[in-house]
Structure 1
Amino acid sequence: MPSPPISGGAAADRIADTSGTPSRTIHGEPANVTAFVVCRFVDRGLLVDLRANPDGPPHHPGQVAEVCRREDLADLVAADILLGPEQAAARLGVRRVEFDHMVRLGWVRSPQSIEVRFGTSRAGAVDVALYTTASVDAIVPTHPEVDWEQLRTVEKGRRSPLASLRPQPAPVPA
């Protein structure tokens, strides 16, 4: 290799620079291109993990440059941006309670969570599940049985139409 391998964070920075998507936290906003996005690129076969350490695999800079030249790079990055539950609900145009029901029903799953601390004590720490933009965007087309317009207009204080639904058992493989 003519150049030394680069970290997932450095690969994320290069992808962010190319796609024009911020990779660093600005004014408390979550990052858009993270090492998680780079790991998803590895899962898709777009990049190769040069060692078996999932926490910080080095990547071939030439492969990163090749990925950065892809015309669909912005779409690839956008699909793997992580959203918190509030952001996911806002993206769907529903209240947070509706999104919480979607999670309970198994319509969307979290690939990653982060620990958020309140104050300096560990006692104030909570884990917040994160969801990929692609998985959130897939909810509406996957559930045409839901009246999405009605769901988006349920007023604060009203019971969610999703509250009475029960999770469907996973299909048994044939």
Structure 2
Amino acid sequence: MSELGGPDISAEGRIDEADLAALRAVRELYEMTDPVPAGLIERIKFAVDLEDLDAEVARVCEEHRLVGVRSTEATETRTITFDCSVLTVMISIRPITDETVRIDGWLAPAGEHRVECRSPDAKRETMADPQGRFVVEDVPHGLLQMVIRLSWQEVHGGTPPVVVTPSIMV
């Protein structure tokens, strides 16, 4: 094995110092001109780190931004709708402070489903009311993924499905 972790390859069956120097120069060039984005590895690990691998993944089907003015401050509210075969999730994201947002959400079909907002550093859980409405306050800005655990076992039988949204920035 070579110093770079790969097999020894060259015309003579080995990588020499000139080859290693060229490979180092190429690596340095890529690190300077096209570096791996900060936090990419952590975001990838976060996106795939789910307890429930048997979850249905919702897709973003609509997103809107609305800028409102209250007194002298302008605030931007985002509305995102996620959809899959068993559930539609609509959320409204409104900044509360420079560090946090409030998420108001609605689920269809409505029901008292468990809603979890996951970020790389925290997890906040709440229950939707019988009409499918929920609120999660003090959600930190950054990467967010929602996990909704449907509570229809008593009606439909079997294991209730779990719905996961794609990760979004809030």
TM bin, normalised by shorter chain, reads under 0.3
TM-score scaled to structure 2, two decimals? 0.25
Structure of greater Rg: 2
TM-score scaled to structure 1, two decimals? 0.25
Higher strand share: 2
